[in-house]
Chain A
């Protein structure tokens, strides 16, 4: 059943440009894919390591800026991309070592501070980053000679990267290392007593998370062809966190659904609902309070409950289901 669902999903994704109305909407879906990669990356820490980061926009942004700067000032696209990945990984390593001095709220605040430092650099070190003027990337890369200028072409490039990210996440989560990571989330002290090196496990997970955050950032730079300090702002980290929490941290689909929700709200709904920030914030608050497991599992749970009620099951049976 799951395999056919995956096949259908792949088919739908592969044919998007055929059935989606216009280039504008194809671009929206490209954006969803880019942010979904960031959300998936963040979820490695939030959902699987139990470490909530408010600084991931920093990891996203540093890769974005690196690739944009290199393309404009120094080199060709391939070299720029590889160098940006390397730089991003170095930054992630530093981020990780500093942040992992704490867990819980301490971790949150260290990542917040680090994200703000990077934002401050982007905003104020005008000589390096252009400050508020940002850096414009004149043209999209041409891998193997194929132009990515059009929305359809770029969409397929983004889709490939996204699928690679998804695959990588799925393998990671189901691996022994993934199980170790989840163990450190649930019972860190016990894990140490069982022989695990909890710090190192978290550090490696952070590197993995940071790597894909950087990839998302690079993709963003190529998509948007413009990077500005806004992408490193606290609000961006908060949005990424919203995507993860709204969609649900326990599944791989959750962050993707969350990313879709936020991007759609920002771009599409904002035409109809003027105060989408308010709505986003309200959804966030509502989810944290009423559906802490996130929209995807929460909706499934509500759906199951509603289905049971509809089938006329005895209230006691429904109550039992709800209690679990």
Chain B
């Protein structure tokens, strides 16, 4: 059984065809990297998988279950989580609060208008743990607005991991990071256990290449090349796309 399987996925915006007849499958525990030039449709693919956009055609299966028609808000409950290319965190809140919101998303506690959120010790402890896992335990109570870009990238990952996903989509987790920050994030990602399947979009091939087991190269909404690291790097079309055009 595949962790994530996409068949015949198509999406057009008006006349603009973003993806067409896309087939894509990821095995459980795999580390898949999606690369491709800007505008290839990679983030749109993620948006389609999470349900933020509806496809025009095709199916999406999560561990065998057809989730194509499942609303976006239900998919995290099925084990799907993602991080965003542009950081979309909650700026007015502390790091702890940000992660708590992520945890609450899956908890029935989120409907409760009577209890004090500050007194939910179990939840708070879980949030602190999640931050500790990304090395931000010391900054837990700091407002997000007072953290660095690199720290916010790690909060994104903490929030996604806090939901104990089965499949984690990472949209350019290394974007805009310094060399040291990249090393931190790389270590983080390497430490993610195998019961979480990783699908990562990255632009910067160097950093991401050694994290990936299989690579899919996307171009104009289609997967042009797919295979192991060595296969993709050596493929003539890869060179053509990255060096030619």
Residue positions of A touching B, CB distance < 8 A:
171-172, 174-180, 182-183, 186-187, 189-198, 208, 324
Verify B163–A186 contact, CB threshold 8 A: no
Of B113-121, B195-203, B231-239, the stretch lying at the interface with chain A is: B113-121
Task: Write the nearest CB–CB distance from A251 to chain B, whole angstroms.
Answer: 13
Tell me which residues from 60 to 103 in chain B have a Cβ below 8 Å from any Cβ of chain A. 72-77, 82, 84, 88-92, 97, 100-102
Chain A contacts for B106, CB-based, 8 A: 195
Chain A contacts for B89, CB-based, 8 A: 187, 190
> A195 to B102, alpha carbons, bound, how many Å?
8
Q: Which of B73, B91, B115 contacts A196 (CB 8 A)?
A: B73
Interface size on B (CB < 8 Å)? Answer: 38
Interface check B105, CB cutoff 8 A: yes
Interface check B112, CB cutoff 8 A: yes
Chain A residue with the shortest CB-CB distance to B76: A195
Interface check B19, CB cutoff 8 A: no
* Given A189-B88, A194-B102; A177-B110 close (CB under 8 Å): yes
Chain A contacts for B146, CB-based, 8 A: 324
Tell me which residues from 122 to 175 in chain B have a Cβ below 8 Å from any Cβ of chain A. 145-146, 159, 163
Chain B residue with the shortest CB-CB distance to A179: B117
Q: Which of A172, A187, A193, A196 contacts B52 (CB 8 A)?
A: A193
Chain A contacts for B159, CB-based, 8 A: 194
Verify B105–A175 contact, CB threshold 8 A: no
> A171 to B114, alpha carbons, bound, how many Å?
6
Residue positions of B touching A, CB distance < 8 A:
50, 52, 72-77, 82, 84, 88-92, 97, 100-102, 104-107, 109-118, 120, 145-146, 159, 163
> A192 to B120, alpha carbons, bound, how many Å?
23
> A191 to B113, alpha carbons, bound, how many Å?
18
Closest 4 CB pairs of A and B: A195-B105, A194-B105, A195-B76, A177-B113
Chain A contacts for B100, CB-based, 8 A: 179
* Given A171-B114, A183-B90, A195-B163; A176-B73 close (CB under 8 Å): no
Chain A contacts for B112, CB-based, 8 A: 175-177
Verify A176–B92 contact, CB threshold 8 A: no
Verify B77–A178 contact, CB threshold 8 A: no
> A182 to B113, alpha carbons, bound, how many Å?
13
Most chain A Cβ neighbours within 10 Å, of B74, B115, B117: B117
Instruction: Provide 27 A-B residue pairs closer than 8 Å at the C-beta atoms, listed in order of the A residue.
Output: A171-B116, A172-B113, A174-B117, A175-B113, A175-B115, A176-B104, A176-B111, A176-B112, A176-B120, A179-B100, A179-B101, A179-B117, A182-B92, A183-B90, A183-B101, A186-B90, A187-B89, A187-B90, A189-B88, A191-B101, A193-B52, A193-B72, A195-B73, A195-B77, A195-B105, A195-B106, A324-B145
> A197 to B73, alpha carbons, bound, how many Å?
6
Chain A residue with the shortest CB-CB distance to B116: A174
Chain A contacts for B88, CB-based, 8 A: 187, 189-190
Query: 20 other contacts beyond A175-B116, A183-B101, A186-B91, with CB at 8 A cut-off?
Result: A171-B114, A175-B113, A175-B117, A176-B104, A176-B115, A177-B110, A177-B111, A178-B117, A179-B101, A179-B104, A180-B101, A187-B90, A190-B84, A193-B52, A193-B73, A193-B75, A193-B82, A194-B101, A194-B105, A195-B77
Chain B contacts for A174, CB-based, 8 A: 116-118
Task: Write the nearest CB–CB distance from B152 to chain A, whole angstroms.
Answer: 13
Chain B contacts for A193, CB-based, 8 A: 50, 52, 72-73, 75-76, 82
